[in-house]
Amino acid sequence: MPKYSIPKGFRDFPPEIMILRKKVLGIVEETFKKHGYDPIETPALEYWETLKGKYGEEAENKLLYRFKDPWSNRWYALRYDLTVPLARFLSHHAIPLPFRRYHISRVWRHENPQRGRYREFWQCDVDIVGSPYPEADAEIVNVLSEAIENIGLKNFKIKLNDRRILAGIFEETLSLRNAILAYRVIDKLDRIGFEGVRKELSKTGYSNKVVEKIIETISISGSPEKVLDEIEEMYGKNERVNEGIVHLKEMLDFLKYKDKTSIELSLVRGLDYYTGPIFEYVVEKPKIGSIAGGGRYDNLIEIYTGKHIPSTGGSIGVERVIDAGLELGIFKLLEKTYAKVYVLSLKHDKKTYLYALSVASMLRENGIPTHVDVMRRSEQAQRRYALKKGINIIVYVGPKEVSENKVTIYDRMRNLRKVVALEYMIDTIKEFLKNKDIT
Amino acid sequence: MPKYSIPKGFRDFPPEIMILRKKVLGIVEETFKKHGYDPIETPALEYWETLKGKYGEEAENKLLYRFKDPWSNRWYALRYDLTVPLARFLSHHAIPLPFRRYHISRVWRHENPQRGRYREFWQCDVDIVGSPYPEADAEIVNVLSEAIENIGLKNFKIKLNDRRILAGIFEETLSLRNAILAYRVIDKLDRIGFEGVRKELSKTGYSNKVVEKIIETISISGSPEKVLDEIEEMYGKNERVNEGIVHLKEMLDFLKYKDKTSIELSLVRGLDYYTGPIFEYVVEKPKIGSIAGGGRYDNLIEIYTGKHIPSTGGSIGVERVIDAGLELGIFKLLEKTYAKVYVLSLKHDKKTYLYALSVASMLRENGIPTHVDVMRRSEQAQRRYALKKGINIIVYVGPKEVSENKVTIYDRMRNLRKVVALEYMIDTIKEFLKNKDIT
């Protein structure tokens, strides 16, 4: 048992996981960049008053890490998402609008740790700051869809809704007192099912009639055209509902993955700041919850900047995407190291080692990640190490190689040994590396 | 004035800075990878007891962010460096030795903010876990030197010393009581000068004779061979001093940048855990302190793992390297966006916009980062926006282009306008982008 433990809900990433994560995040980042998004970074800490009142009561009291700075007596909080920091950022920086930014970084929430849910996790956010139009919402969904597809997760579905449709139906047409309470219960649908939602709503104090009306409404789901027509017929006279419908219809015109999209009135999203379209990405298998989500937040940035700046954005949850990909066999933890070549020093005198170093330098200058012995181990021990690491090409360097200005190259996968002059080493090894897949 | 401020000593990074930082960090990472180093990541938070007693009293009480977890009543701390987390990591993961790892990530210290010194900053660490030999120390210095050189900072100098030489002279030969106090004063030499060190040492209670002896010792510096011979003659009978000399001599055999290296007995390094060679990188201009540093720590990992695992490593300070590079004109904040092309929609109807989107998709599929309008702005406003962003190629899309399946391409740098069929767009734009530097 380790004497010093790691805080609960927090994780280390050893090389084989980091190599996979970097690959996945690299694909996501490339997709974001191609769509014209640029990176920003913000502090891990914000003043508590910056984050206060943005995420809902429960998040604020149960999930947000806050603490008193021991020196200044001010309250800090670890950031809870990357959207509020973006809004705060905009009050300090003058950037031409629309501002397309991406932000791939970690956030902290005091969740109950379980599969796909950690207390420290990474988000990949894209946002368009400044546009009120449906084409901006469509672009966000398109970018996220492309990123998820590029990663290799093809079987995702997009759930779509609009906060104005929810507000119009629940707060205006049904005149729900305290609709936020109902939303919070509805948000649990995936976990507790319709029966659970029915029970919790009753407990909250709504009459049976209202509860049934809510259940009826959140049961509405299906292909966008069908559902939007249905809602229009039922609630279209309500102005806010109608605004939502018109916005979603225009958005759908520009959506690349319309066939993967359904409108689900049960989608409410937890965060308080959404004002328009909201969406979530789910995979059927494994049951891991949503892998991405987002929505429009037209009023958030004004709190910080004093200017009305309508915005929309979304976020991919790195841990869920990776957990899902691993479980589906799309990703494999095969690579334990980036190194491709191990330079094995057969003797540990200065002359041989200097030769080994120059051989390693040549390989590195040619872009080939290379290990060289620093343990003064026997040949056998060095070979065993290379094997454990999964490095398949060994370059032997001993007194004979030094005196003849040669190297002995061994390709483990094909059990091939070749003695070549130093000048042919790079070409030979490149050849070996290229043919790796054949064997 | 922004209503919500950013915590003191913390910073935002807008796109033009992030684009530069990512470029610099990318070069550093590539260098690390080529030398066989693999990435890990650890939590931002550790339990307080994990970090306690590792950095010296002053750091622990004045610089370490610690706070009580509001839920579990346990004390957390934000990590202070990436070395102690590595040691803790090794108690949880079985990894074949030697373990070459890199870790590029942020740490927190409650410093007094000033140029090149922040409360949240990024370190690029490389370490070799498991080797007691001088060739491992040499490799660390070589890797860091190459990374710094690859970034473009050519005029660095390496200061080298060994903790055993310091201990042998100060603690054994001079029998200093409380040598750690003397080290702390010596550590300030760059800031307060020899006169300042002399004064502070006297205040600490050392006799004049001892103070002069200390000053004489820390004045020893110069080319490695000369200085090592000098030390050997003066203190070589002390076993620890001698161990240090032998180790440094072997290390120097394998050092790539020996001409940039000097031995300086005034180099002590702040951290408590060093046991062997220690080193620091400085640039002459600008006066920004050390840009990198490190050393051997043979006893640290045992605290966590219970096993004696000698190790050595070093770290590049991202902020200082970038501040220095900017000041020296090696880096410039030229790029405000990755985007290379702006697709300008001349009309905002569905048909034109769908055409604009398909044009943008083609460009992106060919790896060209591309913006498209989401603001329904006039032609002029869109052009102004592209100009502000520094995007030099505009693809015009209007009813005429739609009906003829063409695009109009405008290259601002050369004031060149070209109408081409859609199928020739990519080639034309690639040609334009390639010739960018000519004009």
Separation of alpha carbons A352 and A396, rounded Å: 11
ipTM of the complex: 0.95
pLDDT tens-digit series, residues B299-316? 999 999 999 999 999 999
Q: Measure CB to CB from residue B88 to each of A4, A369, A385 and give the nearest one.
A: A4
Instruction: Using alpha carbons, list the distances in angstroms from residue A133 to A246, A255, B48.
Output: 11, 13, 48
Touching B: A residues 1-20, CB under 8 Å: 2-8, 10-15, 18-19
Nearest CA in chain B to A19: B39
If one compares A273 and B410, the residue with the highest pLDDT of the two is B410
CATH of domain B15-328: 3.30.930.10
The band of B290, judged by pLDDT with boundaries at 50, 70 and 90, is very high
Q: What is the pLDDT of residue A3?
A: 66
Distance from CA of A282 to the nearest CA of B (A): 25
**Residue A374 and residue B133: Cβ atoms within 8 Å?**
yes
Nearest CA in chain A to B32: A369
Residues of B in contact with A136 (CB under 8 A): 374
**Residue A6 and residue B88: Cβ atoms within 8 Å?**
yes
Task: Kindly tell me if the per-residue pLDDT of B66 is higher than 90.
Answer: yes
Q: What is the mean pLDDT of residues B240-245?
A: 97
Distance from CA of A367 to the nearest CA of B (A): 7
Q: Assign residue B168 a region (left: φ > 0; alpha: ψ between -120 and 50; beta: otherwise).
A: alpha
Does residue B307 belong to the interface with chain A, where contact is any CB pair within 8 Å? no
**Residue B43 and residue A12: Cβ atoms within 8 Å?**
yes
What DSSP designation does A7 have? P
Touching A: B residues 269-288, CB under 8 Å: none
Residues of B in contact with A22 (CB under 8 A): 39
Separation of alpha carbons B260 and B368, rounded Å: 42
Q: What is the pLDDT of residue B271?
A: 74
Instruction: Using alpha carbons, list the distances in angstroms from residue B396 to A56, A98, B418.
Output: 44, 18, 10
The band of B2, judged by pLDDT with boundaries at 50, 70 and 90, is low
Residue type, A210: V
Does residue B246 belong to the interface with chain A, where contact is any CB pair within 8 Å? no
Instruction: Using alpha carbons, list the distances in angstroms from residue B380 to A70, B345, B383, B384, B396.
Output: 53, 11, 5, 6, 12
Q: What is the mean pLDDT of residues A113-123?
A: 91
pLDDT tens-digit series, residues B86-105? 999 999 999 999 999 999 99
Does residue A337 belong to the interface with chain B, where contact is any CB pair within 8 Å? yes
Instruction: Using alpha carbons, list the distances in angstroms from residue B128 to A59, A64, B37, B75, B320.
Output: 42, 37, 9, 30, 24
- Helix H or strand E segment including B217: helix B208-218
> Which range (A56-65, A90-99, A303-312, A397-406) has the least confidence?
A56-65
- Helix H or strand E segment including A214: helix A208-218
Q: What is the mean pLDDT of residues A336-342?
A: 97
The band of A115, judged by pLDDT with boundaries at 50, 70 and 90, is confident
Q: Output the average pLDDT for chain B.
A: 94
Task: Kindly tell me if the per-residue pLDDT of A284 is higher than 90.
Answer: no
**Residue A133 and residue B376: Cβ atoms within 8 Å?**
yes
Task: Kindly tell me if the per-residue pLDDT of A270 is higher than 80.
Answer: no
Q: Which residues contact B114 (CB under 8 A, 6 or more apart)?
A: none
The band of B436, judged by pLDDT with boundaries at 50, 70 and 90, is low
pLDDT tens-digit series, residues A191-238? 899 999 999 999 988 999 999 999 999 999 999 999 999 999 999 999
Q: What is the pLDDT of residue B177?
A: 82
Does residue A67 belong to the interface with chain B, where contact is any CB pair within 8 Å? yes
Chain B contact probe: residue of A1, A11, A12, A370 with most B CBs at under 10 A: A12
Task: Kindly tell me if the per-residue pLDDT of A436 is higher than 70.
Answer: no
The alpha carbon of B30 is separated from its chain's Cα centroid by a whole number of angstroms, namely: 13
Q: Measure CB to CB from residue B374 to each of A4, A74, A136 and give the nearest one.
A: A136
Share of chain A above pLDDT 70, in %: 98
Peptide bond into B399 cis (omega under 30): no
Spell out where B130-194 has E strands: 156-162
Share of chain B above pLDDT 90, in %: 86
Q: What is the pLDDT of residue B3?
A: 66
Task: Kindly tell me if the per-residue pLDDT of B368 is higher than 50.
Answer: yes
The alpha carbon of B380 is separated from its chain's Cα centroid by a whole number of angstroms, namely: 42
Nearest CA in chain B to A49: B4
The band of A184, judged by pLDDT with boundaries at 50, 70 and 90, is confident
Beta bridge partners of B106: B122
Q: Which residues contact A368 (CB under 8 A, 6 or more apart)?
A: A340, A341, A426, A429, A430, A433, B34
Helix (H) and strand (E) counts in chain B: 17, 17
In our burial notation (b when 16+ CB lie closer than 10 A, e otherwise), range A189-211 reads beeeeeeebbebbeeeebeeebb
Beta strand pairing call for B38-39 and B99-108: parallel
Q: What is the mean pLDDT of residues B245-259?
A: 97
The alpha carbon of A334 is separated from its chain's Cα centroid by a whole number of angstroms, namely: 21
| Contact in structure between B138 and A353 (CB atoms under 8 Å) | no
Q: What is the pLDDT of residue A2?
A: 52
CATH of domain B341-431: 3.40.50.800
Q: What is the pLDDT of residue A94?
A: 94
Q: What is the pLDDT of residue B439?
A: 35
Q: What is the pLDDT of residue B114?
A: 86
Task: Kindly tell me if the per-residue pLDDT of B21 is higher than 50.
Answer: yes
Q: Which residues contact B387 (CB under 8 A, 6 or more apart)?
A: B412
Place of tokens 């960018």: B436
Separation of alpha carbons A263 and A413, rounded Å: 52
Is residue A96 classed as helix, strand or coil in its secondary structure? Answer: coil
Domain ranges of chain A: 15-328, 341-437
| Contact in structure between A71 and A8 (CB atoms under 8 Å) | no
Touching A: B residues 158-197, CB under 8 Å: none
pLDDT tens-digit series, residues A379-416? 999 999 999 999 999 999 999 999 999 999 999 999 99
Does residue A329 belong to the interface with chain B, where contact is any CB pair within 8 Å? no
- Of A209, A7, A131, residue with least CA distance to B76: A7
Residues of B in contact with A375 (CB under 8 A): 97-98, 130-131, 133
pTM of this structure: 0.95
pLDDT tens-digit series, residues B403-423? 999 999 999 999 999 999 999
The band of A1, judged by pLDDT with boundaries at 50, 70 and 90, is very low
Nearest CA in chain B to A90: B2
Q: Output the average pLDDT for chain A.
A: 94
Q: What is the mean pLDDT of residues B243-251?
A: 98
Task: Kindly tell me if the per-residue pLDDT of A240 is higher than 60.
Answer: yes
Distance from CA of B96 to the nearest CA of A (A): 7
Q: What is the pLDDT of residue B286?
A: 85
Does residue B114 belong to the interface with chain A, where contact is any CB pair within 8 Å? no
Instruction: Using alpha carbons, list the distances in angstroms from residue A124 to A79, A278, B199, B247, B305.
Output: 14, 17, 53, 46, 35
10 Å Cβ neighbour count for B48? 17
Highest-pLDDT range among B66-70, B83-87, B173-177: B83-87
Q: What is the pLDDT of residue A256?
A: 94
CATH number 3.40.50.800 given to A341-437: yes
**Residue A40 and residue B364: Cβ atoms within 8 Å?**
no
The alpha carbon of B331 is separated from its chain's Cα centroid by a whole number of angstroms, namely: 15
Distance from CA of B118 to the nearest CA of A (A): 11
Beta bridge partners of B160: B263, B279
